[in-house]
Each structure stands twice: as structure tokens, then as C-alpha cells.
Amino acid sequence: MRIENELKLDYSDVLLKPKRSTLGSRKDVNLNRVFANFDWNGIPIMASNMDGVGTFEMAKSLSEFKMFTTLRKTYDTSQLVEFFSNKDNCQYAAMSIGITDYDYRKFLDVYSMCKYLQYVCIDVANGYSERFVEFVIKIKEIFKEGKIIAGNVVTGEMTEQLILSGVDVVKVGIGPGAVCTTRIQTGVGYPQLSAVIECADAAHGLNGFIIGDGGITCPGDVAKGFGAGADFIMIGGQFGGHDENPGEIIEKNGEKYKLFYGMSSQKAMEIHYGKMNNYRSSEGRVVTIKYKGPIEVTILDYLGGLRSTCTYINASCIKNIAKCCTFVRVNRQLNTIYS
């Protein structure tokens, strides 16, 4: 038995310390980043490849802001070919796959028919299996000129393993999502702020990148993720409940809602596989999210918050947030008396 006594922190455990700033206005902040090694430039915020978020509609809306979408894994070959045959759709979207034989064949089919495909996301709940690493290597052998996003992991050692196996951007996060119950069902996880700090340090030492995936509850959490060293921040639940999300609007007591569920939930298993196999347990929640209208409203709120963060800590651009930030540990970050 081994116990690690070193303190590990979540986004809610810290605040950013303000500093003297030369920035006179939020409009002086540049949110665009250029990643030469990843062959991409834009605002490094991503929509998650969850059913309710990683849609074609979301990708088209986010691309107008030069933001990225990892498409949900459940699109079939014909749908993906139609989408990625349009060169304009390829710069800000990735095809997502698992590690089954079906996923491998689907990737080969799409890749052979879509010469503009640039990014693929290899997504599994547990990025620590040898099978996952072997699958990454197999895809890299074929997708030599393309860029691979893969995860999820939460430790520096596995981040290094994936980058050395051909991954360009590692997805970091196990259990922090709003509809994820992995930590309850399995007891496995890692506080997200510490996971981002440790994995970013490992990745950057090998000229790789990471995505802070999950745990975002507000614009301030995005700033904290960038401050911890994340190159990209991936958002799931906070991008739910919009026009671009699938599903009908549900009305209850005069309020409008949309359904949102975790990809390891019983509902997701039933939708995509017809049932929950008896060797599994549900590791996701099903919730209703208040209907929010077009995603543009939420995007502008998040980008405005991020610009404001930069003016508080004197960071002229997103890349400089990590250089300019000092975290302060707190017992409470918000006065909730009127919540």
C-alpha cells in the first residue's frame, strides 16, 4: 500500500492573485494562439466530443470564433465524409474514435475519402491500458501527416508515454466532468488543477501539448486551467443546453430545458449499444440543463471573462497567463448567500 501525501488541488481550491497591470482595456487582450507544432491557430477552447456537445452544428458555430470541436464518436462514416469533404470544416474540427475494430475501419474509410482531414481524437475513459497505446501507434503509422489528440490521463508519466507514441495533444482529466461519476463508481481520479499542472510540465518537456478536459463550471475555471499550463481547455456541460445541442426542448413549470448525459451513463449505453452490459456499471449522470439559446451567448460570456482575467494579472495574451499567474489557496472562492 502506498499513500501520496503531497497536496493536490482542484480549480475550486484556488484563486488568481491580481497584479499591477499595464493593460488599459479588455480589448487589448489577444485570445488567439498559434501552435506551429500542431499546425493550428485560433482561440484554444474546445467543445467536448460528448453526444450533447460535439455536433456538426456546434463545430460550425464555434469555427466562426476560431474555436475547436472534437466531434462525437457516434457519427457514422457517411456523415463524417460529407462533413470533412468540405475543406472549411477541417481546420477547427476533429473526427473522434474509440479503439475498437469498428473505430479503426471507420477511421480508414473516412481518411481514405477525405483528403482534408487534419485531426483525429482517440478517446477512451481509461487512457492507461496497453491496448490504447498500441492503437495510438497503429493510427500514427497511417496518419503520418495528421495530428492526433488522445486521452484521457492525469499523470505526467502517461502523458510522456502518449507523446512518445505519436500523440500531439494529450487530453487530461479523469472524473472532473459535471455528469461523470467515475470517481464515485471506481474511486479513481485526480484533482483537475494538479493534473493539468503535472501533465503540462511533462508534455512541454517533449514539445507536446495538453488539453484540460473537464471540471469547468465558470469562465474563471478556464483562466485557471490556462494558468496551470493547459494549452487547450475542453468544455462539456457548460456548452450544453443550446440550439446547437441535439434534443428537444423540455418544458417544466414554465422553464425550458435540454437533456444532457455522460458518455458512460446507462442512457448513452442504451442509445448506442441497445443496453448496458452486465459487466459494466453506469459512470455518468443524466441531467436537464436550462435552455440557453444560441451558443454565441455563452461563448461571448466566457471570452469576456477570460479577457478580464488577463487585465487583472497583466497577461497580454492567453499564452502569457501561465507566466503571469500566481495561485492563492482558498477555503471558499465565492459568497453564496444569495445563490
Q: Is 186 part of the annotated catalytic residue set?
A: no
Least confident of 55-64, 144-153, 275-284: 275-284
> Is 90 exceeded by the pLDDT of residue 183?
no
Nearest to 97 by CA among 74, 126, 114, 80: 74
| Mean pLDDT computed over 132-161 | 97
Domain for residue 136, yes or no? yes
> To 5 degrees, how large is the angle CA 235–CA 263–CA 62?
30
Instruction: Please state at what angle helix 156-164 crosses helix 130-142, rounded to 10 degrees.
Output: 30
> Is 80 exceeded by the pLDDT of residue 114?
yes
> Is 60 exceeded by the pLDDT of residue 131?
yes
Strands (E), the chain: 14-16, 33-35, 40-42, 45-47, 68-70, 93-97, 119-123, 147-153, 169-172, 209-213, 232-235, 250-252, 255-261, 286-290, 327-329
Domain for residue 334, yes or no? no
The CATH number of residue 57's host domain is 3.20.20.70
Contact 168, 266 (CB under 8 A): no
> Is 80 exceeded by the pLDDT of residue 272?
no
Domain count, the chain: 1
- Identify the pLDDT of residue 267: 53
Q: Is 317 part of the annotated catalytic residue set?
A: no
The neighbour count for residue 23, using CB atoms within 10 Å, is 16
More confident residue, 174 or 334: 174
> Is 50 exceeded by the pLDDT of residue 87?
yes
Domain encompassing residue 89: 32-326
Domain for residue 247, yes or no? yes
Q: Which of 180, 199, 324, 325 is flagged as catalytic?
A: 180
- Strands 119-123, 169-172: pairing kind: unpaired
| Mean pLDDT computed over 7-13 | 96
**Residue count (the chain):** 339
Q: Which of 55, 182, 298, 309 is flagged as catalytic?
A: 182
Q: How far apart are CA 82 and CA 99, in angstroms?
A: 23
- Identify the pLDDT of residue 37: 82
Domain for residue 314, yes or no? yes
Domain for residue 4, yes or no? no
Using CB atoms within 10 A of its CB, is residue 78 exposed (0-12), middle (13-18) or buried (19+)? exposed
Domain for residue 159, yes or no? yes
Domain for residue 62, yes or no? yes
Domain for residue 37, yes or no? yes
